[in-house]
Chains A and B, each alone.
Chain A
Amino acid sequence: MNAFNPDVTFDLAETPLRELNAALHKATGESNTRHWRVLNPNGRHALAAGVKAPLTIEVDGHVGYYCAGMNQQANVIIHGNAGVGVAENMMSGFVHVRGDASQSAGATAHGGMLRIDGNASARCGISMKGIDIIVQGSVGHMSAFMGQAGSLIVFGDAGDALGDSLYEAKLFVRGSVKSLGADCIEKELREEHKLHLHEKLTAAGLAGTVDVSEFKRYGSARQLYNFHIDNAGAY
């Protein structure tokens, strides 16, 4: 871990998770207690879910389901792996998983940024609605399924059915894509997209780590927006 002097430390081996979450929900971010450290998370669920203040929360270990769900404004750093649905329905803020993430990372999230240093499992960014997700490893099958807005940037590979039934989410994959889902197609990577990538990588603290021109861009063919009988088999 970085040199980091927390204002508050919660050791979940001694304090119940409910107390931590209650304290986080009370915090406004206006006082000086902005840096929180959580020890011994031991895979507990819903850790730091529903935080809505500009706090920095460092979690020292692996977390369970829905960590940092519904996040607004907070900067949540997980020094370990994350279970199902990390940063699910995030509105704003920054969630950084230093290890791997399980399924449905960043699902339905409206805003903010999710950075995953390792791999993300299946359905990463399912129904994403504005979040930016950066995965330095690979993502599993059906990632960005029904993605509506925001961007999914994958340094590694993508599994089967990437972007199935995609709306307007922007997908960028540097490695291979096992298969594209219904209505998802490869599109030209123009200068504006390289700029977009550069901007997002800079925001994630990853500027210069990869060459943005190495990504391929994927998006919706927009053939399934309205029901058409010829497409019945694809719905």
Chain B
Amino acid sequence: MCGIVGIFLKDPKLEPDLGAMLSSMLCVMTDRGPDSAGFAIYGSGEKDHVKLSLRAVEGYDFEALANSISLTSGGAPKLVVRSTHAVIEVPKAHESAVRAALAERHPEVAIVGTGSRMEIFKEVGLPRQVAERFDLPRMSGTHGIGHTRMATESAVTTAGAHPFSTGADQCLVHNGSLSNHNDLRRNLRREGISFATENDSEVAAGYLTWRMQQGKSLGEALEAGLGDLDGFFTFVVGTESGFGVLRDPIACKPAVMAETDQYVAFGSEYRALVDLPGISKARVFEPEPATVYFWDRAA
């Protein structure tokens, strides 16, 4: 099954409530995916800095890690620790050096996402536990996506939890299963996209990253995906300024959207949306199969 949710704010007044809204949506979707949960949130950020979302074992000393890379990053990086994850912020100019230092000195730490504004958190366990341990209800931002997982194509591990991020400020959550992911993964690796898991959803994320590297917009990348991705999918994707939704042509996997003057929201089921402000007056609709839906902050 899996449950996916997403919200894209049009009204800046709601930004302090983004985490609370996403958290409530995620918890309602527990029935669809009790194995693991995760979310990506687009908060504040500086243009010349990059945030790295890191994941390690329970009780990991992220302070020590930040100290050990402080020379590489040209000073002590800004560090926010949340349970098994931490976000460090370093000047963009130092990103590759910091990545090299992390790979060399801290192979035990995984980078789950990077970007100027995006932060990613995911863990095994019930969505409520996951939302609480990362303090999601108190996060703010412009848009976010979330996932509750019922594992089908690969193991119940934190690495297999969504969202998947394969490019800066890009992330994807997926409900469904892809049938040509092995072949695609091989081809994408040849194109220079790297993968951390055997998960089919990571291949979808990698595919979109590859298309966008070729200069396509997220909307165009999603359109191209209709021809190249085989299987069942409902995707919700985020970029630094955008929010997209795509369903396969058969549209087996459920999807409901609601739009008001203040936001666009996505849920696998309508009940994920019922606590959103003004939902009773929202335009509620089901996204059409094989149709790209895309909203952008910049537009």
Contacts and interface: CB of A to CB of B under 8 A. Distances in A.
A61 B280 CA distance: 8
A83 B284 contact: no
A100 B274 contact: no
A81 B284 contact: yes
A99 B271 CA distance: 16
A137 to B, nearest CB: 12
B270 interface: yes
Given A100-B285, A141-B289, A43 B251 contact: no
B239 to A, nearest CB: 28
A143 interface: no
A122 B289 CA distance: 9
B240 interface: no
B289 A140 contact: yes
Contacts of B286: 100, 102, 121
Contacts of B270: 42-43, 62, 64, 81, 83
A193 interface: no
Interface in A187-202: none
Given A102-B254, A103-B251, A64 B289 contact: no
B289 A42 contact: no
A43 B289 contact: no
A35 interface: no
B128 to A, nearest CB: 18
B117 to A, nearest CB: 31
B254 A43 contact: no
Interface in A1-59: 42-44
Contacts of B274: 42-43
A93 B268 CA distance: 30
Contacts of A62: 270, 284
Contacts of A84: 254
Contacts of A103: 251, 254
Interface string B152-167: 0000000000000000
Q: Chain A interface: which size bin?
A: 10 to 19
A99 B274 CA distance: 17
B89 interface: no
Contact of A43 (B269, B280, B288): B269
Contacts of B256: 83, 102
Interface string A44-88: 100000000000000001101100000000000000010110000
A65 B273 CA distance: 15
A12 B284 CA distance: 20
A62 B254 CA distance: 15
A84 B32 CA distance: 15
Nearest to A42: B274
Interface string A133-149: 00000001100000000
Contacts of A102: 254, 256, 286
Interface string B95-108: 00000000000000
A159 to B, nearest CB: 8
B271 A44 contact: yes
B289 A83 contact: no
A44 B256 CA distance: 14
A211 to B, nearest CB: 28
B251 A83 contact: no
A30 B274 CA distance: 35
Contacts of B250: 122
A42 B269 CA distance: 10
A122 B251 contact: yes
Contacts of A121: 251, 286
Contacts of A44: 271
B28 to A, nearest CB: 9
Interface string B261-276: 0000000011111100
Nearest to A141: B289
A141 B250 CA distance: 8
B285 A43 contact: no
Nearest to A122: B251
A43 B282 CA distance: 14
A65 B249 CA distance: 21
23 contacts: A42-B270, A42-B271, A42-B274, A43-B269, A43-B270, A43-B271, A43-B272, A43-B274, A44-B271, A61-B280, A64-B269, A64-B270, A65-B269, A83-B254, A83-B256, A83-B269, A83-B270, A100-B284, A100-B285, A102-B286, A122-B289, A140-B289, A141-B249
Interface of A: 42-44, 61-62, 64-65, 81, 83-84, 99-100, 102-103, 121-122, 140-141
Q: Which 3 A-B pairs have the closest CB atoms?
A: A43-B271, A43-B270, A42-B274
Given A100-B286, A102-B254, A122-B250, 10 more contacts: A42-B270, A43-B271, A44-B271, A61-B280, A64-B271, A83-B256, A100-B285, A122-B251, A140-B289, A141-B249
